[in-house]
């Protein structure tokens, strides 16, 4: 895509949250790609996983923290919590962070819970994106260990290793 976009602009069902830079995974010279954030939170006071999975690690390769890993992380979390990501049940109510993000219907498909590094981009551009609750933390899709996942405070900007049963907010993103 070569259209000129700016962070904070409404685009494809959300708000442009980040535009890929030269060293970012997926960057293509002469093309504009990046992250779109949903215009509002998908939930508040939400646990990272279902109760049965609050103390179990995502099997296999687990989850990544790097920019570009959020979508894969989300699929792994959903599968681990008893739902098949590619055959995600339309209309089903999900009560855990990755499920809420993936189920978001912003007129486009492909929404997911951002990785730790993707969530930090949202924090850095929070004013332009808008709609964040500054006194609250948001979940990432990045797991730290069996009982902890990464969250980020949208007050002071710190990232924390938080118990998965913690009650935080969810904001879905998608690639463009």
Task: Give the residue numbers spanning the domain of 170.
Answer: 39-175
Domain-located, residue 111: yes
pLDDT attached to residue 1: 52
pLDDT attached to residue 82: 82
Ranges 63-77, 93-107, 125-139, 155-169: which has the least confidence: 93-107
Spatial distance between the Cα atoms of 96 and 164, rounded to a whole number of angstroms:
10
Domain-located, residue 145: yes
Spatial distance between the Cα atoms of 76 and 124, rounded to a whole number of angstroms:
26
Instruction: Confirm if 47 and 40 have CB atoms less than 8 A apart.
Output: no
Which backbone phi and psi does 140 adopt, to 5 degrees? Answer: -105, 170
Instruction: Confirm if 102 and 96 have CB atoms less than 8 A apart.
Output: no
Distances (CA, A) of 114 to 3, 111, 145, 171: 24, 9, 17, 8
Domain-located, residue 157: yes
pTM over 0.85: yes
pLDDT digits (tens, 9 = 90+) for 126-143: 999 999 998 899 999 999
pLDDT attached to residue 93: 67
> Where does the pLDDT of residue 107 fall: very low under 50, low under 70, confident under 90, or very high at 90 and above?
confident
Instruction: Confirm if 101 and 172 have CB atoms less than 8 A apart.
Output: yes
Domain-located, residue 10: no
pLDDT digits (tens, 9 = 90+) for 38-92: 999 999 999 999 999 999 999 988 999 999 999 999 999 999 998 655 455 555 5
Instruction: Confirm if 142 and 128 have CB atoms less than 8 A apart.
Output: no
Domain-located, residue 6: no
How many structural domains does the chain have? 1
Domain-located, residue 116: yes
Reading phi first (left if > 0) and then psi (alpha if -120 to 50, else beta), residue 30 is in: left
Q: What percent of the chain has pLDDT over 90?
A: 82
Spatial distance between the Cα atoms of 169 and 157, rounded to a whole number of angstroms:
14
Domain-located, residue 11: no
| pLDDT above 70 (res 154) | yes
Domain-located, residue 26: no
């Amino acid at each position: 895509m070569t259209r000129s976009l700016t962070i904070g602009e409404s685009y494809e069902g959300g708000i442009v949250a980040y535009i890929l830079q030269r060293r970012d995974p997926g960057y293509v010279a002469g093309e504009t790609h990046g992250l779109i954030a949903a215009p509002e939170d998908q939930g508040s006071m939400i646990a990272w996983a279902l109760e049965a999975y609050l103390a179990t690690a995502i099997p296999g390769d687990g989850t990544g923290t790097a920019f570009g890993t959020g979508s894969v992380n989300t699929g792994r979390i959903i599968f681990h919590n008893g739902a098949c990501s590619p055959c995600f049940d339309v209309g089903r109510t999900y009560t855990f962070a990755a499920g809420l993000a993936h189920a978001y219907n912003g007129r486009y498909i492909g929404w997911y819970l951002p990785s730790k590094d993707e969530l930090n981009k949202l924090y850095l551009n929070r004013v332009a994106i808008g709609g964040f609750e500054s006194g609250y933390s948001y979940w990432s899709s990045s797991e730290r260990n069996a009982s902890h996942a990464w969250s980020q405070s949208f007050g002071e900007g710190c990232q924390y290793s938080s118990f998965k049963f913690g009650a935080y907010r969810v904001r879905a993103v998608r690639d463009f």
